[in-house]
Structure 1
Amino acid sequence: MTTTTDPSYVDPALINPRAVRLVEAFKNALARLRDEDGLTFDDLNAVADLLQRIQTATGAPLALVAMPLYSELFQGGQDGYTPSEDVDSPTYIPGSPRIDNPGTLPMRPDEPGTPLIASGRVLDGHGRPLEGAKLDIYHAADNGNYSGLYDDGVLRYNLRGHLFTDSDGRYAFTTITPVAYADPHITAVDGVAEAVAALGRSLYRPAHIHYEVHHPDLITPWRGEIYFKGDPVIPVDFVGGTLAPPALQADTVLHEDPEDIAQHGFQSPYRTMEFDFILKTRTSPDTITPKATPA
């Protein structure tokens, strides 16, 4: 028996007013770009075609490939708190090993790169330390690759680990200094270099370390990337030229004194990096002075 369905019928229970409103707002935004900035249908097709070719080359979901278009829009942490990304990083892998505090991220015996000692504190909006905050930490190797994402013989959790802050909210770990990198899968796609250059951007991402911070008192977990102050790649970041505001840039120092190097157990110059996270908890004020000095 065949059931005839009224083709004009839409179940009212399935209508999502928010979805309707967002689609209309998106179309209105495109219309403004058409009328005020000369957006054409060919422009949209060119963007869609390039994204599709990147997706084919990388195997990444199309939504992830489009991240450079919208990543700068979704960054929280307003009102003076450390800005946080509201999107998950595609390079995150759960289950990293726990390290001591201070400790050392897992790495190969001959891990290339300049040694780095990273440290700082995790504080609430009153400047009080968050004891027992879990920091998931990871970053790319000296060649720009993240462990566990490629079949390259590198251990799954190389340069990945987590630790817990002490009673003063402090953390410290040793690793190697990240460097700027470009994804070879993306750079090999025809048209990418020209499209990026047309936007005044580089094919490279600035050096950075990924963190996720979890604590029962936090309103939401913190996730994002910490960059290095003075990195010339930051203003032309492939993903977004404003993705690394000053509030996410850490101070770094190069240490070259032979005695200092030897005391820290290194064979060559090393760097130190200081960064404090100021995060909103359930008892924090709504607004604080940016980079407020802890009490």
Structure 2
Amino acid sequence: MTTTTDPSYVDPALINPRAVRLVEAFKNALARMRDEEGLTFDDLNAVTDLLQRTQTATGAPLALVAMPLYSELFQGGRDGYTPSEDVNSPTFIPGSPRIDNPGTLQMQPDEPGTPLIVSGRVLDGHGRPLAGAKLDIYHAANNGNYSGLYDDGVPKYNLRGHQFTDADGRYTFTTITPVAYADPHITAVDGVAEAVAAVGRSLYRPAHIHYEVHHSDLIAPWRGEIYFRGDPVIPVDFVGGDTGPSRPAGRHRPARGPRGHRRTRFPGPLQDHGVRLRPQDPHQPRHHHAEDHAGMTPGTQRPDRLPG
């Protein structure tokens, strides 16, 4: 039996008004770029071709590969440089080992680099110490690689760990000073170096340490990255120029301590730079569930390679 379907029929129940508006707005934006900046189809084809080849080389979702083009748009009004609290870093690995406070991130006995002591304080949105907050901490090694992402013989949780703040919201940990790095899988893609230079950016990411702050009194976790004040790579960061709030940055101060160590007093990702953690509203659900406006839950699959 053959069923005849009207080819002009569209089920009204399947139409998403928001999707219609977004597509129309996107086309209008492209039209303005065509009229005001001379955008051509060849321009679009060149960009999408480069993104597709980068996606093939890295295995990362295309939206994350394209993030250098729009990362500033999704900072959500926060001071954290990670685009938003709904965007997990592709370099995050759950299940890191707990360390003491003060403590030391797990590292290899011959870990290269300059030892670094980091300390700070976590405050809630009212400026009160947030005791017992869980801090997930991790960063790249001296060669720019993140542990657990490559089959390179490095322990899965190298330079990764979590700790809990004390009664005064303070934390301290020892690690290796991170360095600026360029992902070799991305830089090896033909045309990437030229494209990055064309928009005035470097192939490198500035040195940074990733933080995630979790607490039962918070509406949502805080995710972000801590940078080093005065790092010349920050203004030309591969991931994107900063049009949003300033990125949190630590000051380097000499301090008495073990030989060969540097102590860095970070202002805490939540204190001097206005990253305000919102206390739990009793009228809101305690557990935040990230969901976009079209009703689709963001995926949790982590790409293999992408600058973090």
CA distance in structure 2 between the aligned counterparts of 1:14 and 1:243, rounded to whole angstroms: 37
Matches within 5 A, 1:105-254: 105-242=105-242, 245-254=245-254
- In the TM superposition, residue 283 of structure 1 has moved relative to its aligned partner by 6.8
Asked whether 1:50 is paired with 2:50, we answer yes
The farther-off stretch of 49-58 and 110-119 is: 49-58
Q: Distance in 2 between matches of 1:103 and 1:171?
A: 9
Q: Deviations over 1:88-108 (max 9, x none)?
A: 111011111111111110000
Deviation at 1:40, TM superposition (A): 0.6
Amino acid at match of 1:265: P
The superposition leaves residues 167-201 of structure 1 with CA deviations (integer Å, 9 ceiling, x where unpaired) of: 11111110000000000011111111111111010
Q: Indicate whether 1:85 and 2:83 are aligned.
A: yes
Shift of residue 71, structure 1, vs aligned partner: 1.4
AA in 1 matched with 2:146: Y
**1:61 corresponds to 2:54:** no
> Which segments of 5 or more consecutive residues in structure 2 lack a partner in the other structure?
282-308
Residue 244 and residue 24 in structure 1: after superposition, are their counterparts in 2 closer, same or farther (change >3 A)?
closer
Comparing both structures, which one devotes a greater share of its residues to helix? Answer: 1
Contact 1:177 1:271 in 2 (8 A): no
Pairwise CA distance, 1:219: 2.6
Separation in structure 2 between the aligned mates of residue 239 and residue 265 of structure 1, nearest angstrom = 35
1:3 equivalent in structure 2? 3
Alpha-carbon RMSD? 1.8
Q: Which stretches in structure 1 are left out of the alignment for 5+ residues?
A: 285-295
- CA–CA separation in structure 2 for the residues paired with 1:83 and 1:282: 21
User: Aligned residues: percent identity?
Assistant: 78
Residue equivalent to 2:278: 281
Structure 2 residue matching 1:123: 3-state secondary structure: coil
Residue type of the partner of 1:281?
R
Q: 1:282 to 1:265 in 2, by over 3 A?
A: closer
3-state secondary structure, aligned to 2:26: helix
After superposition, give the CA deviation of every residue in 1:217-246 in whole Å (9 maximum; x if it has no partner). 223211011100000000000011217853
TM-score of the pair, normalised by structure 1: 0.88
Alpha-carbon deviations, 1:50-69, whole Å to 9, x = none?
11111122222222211111
Q: Which moved further from structure 2: 152-161 or 124-133?
A: 124-133
Tell me, in whole angstroms, the C-alpha distance in 1 between the residues paired with 2:10 and 2:249.
51
Q: Which deviations, in whole Å up to 9, do the C-alpha atoms of 1:251-277 show, x marking residues without a partner?
A: 12245xxxx3xxx334x2524232221
| Residue aligned with 1:120, SS | strand
Superposition TM-score, scaled by structure 2 size: 0.84
Are the structure 2 counterparts of residues 124 and 51 from structure 1 closer, same or farther at C-alpha, using a change threshold of 3 Å? same
8 Å CA contact retained: 2:119, 2:171: yes
Q: Contact between 2:76 and 2:83, CA under 8 Å: does it hold in 1? A: yes
Cα shift at 1:76: 2.3
- The alignment of Structure 1 onto Structure 2 pairs a total of residues equal to 274
1:124–1:82: structure 2 CA closer, same or farther, 3 Å change rule? farther
Shift of 1:83: 6.3
Tell me, yes or no, if the aligned pair for 2:139 and 2:209 is still in contact at 8 Å: yes
SS at match of 2:224: strand
Q: Aligned partners of 1:243, 1:90: CA distance in 2, in Å?
A: 22
CA distance in 1, matches of 2:54, 2:125: 41
Q: What is the CA distance between 1:15 and its match in structure 2?
A: 1.1
Q: Which residue of the partner structure matches residue 262 of structure 2?
A: 270
Contact 1:84–1:222 under 8 Å retained in 2? no
| Residue equivalent to 2:287 | none
1:247 Cα deviation (Å)? 4.3
For the residue of structure 2 that corresponds to 1:119, the secondary structure is strand
Q: 2 CA distance for matches of 1:105 and 1:89?
A: 19
CA contact (8 A) 1:140 1:178 kept: yes
Matches of 2:154 and 2:244 in 1, distance apart?
29
What secondary structure, in the 3-state scheme, does the structure 2 residue paired with 1:63 have? helix
Question: Closer, same or farther in 2 for the Cα pair 1:101/1:176, shift >3 Å?
Answer: same
Point out the more displaced range, 241-250 or 231-240.
241-250
Q: Distance in 2 between matches of 1:90 and 1:84?
A: 11
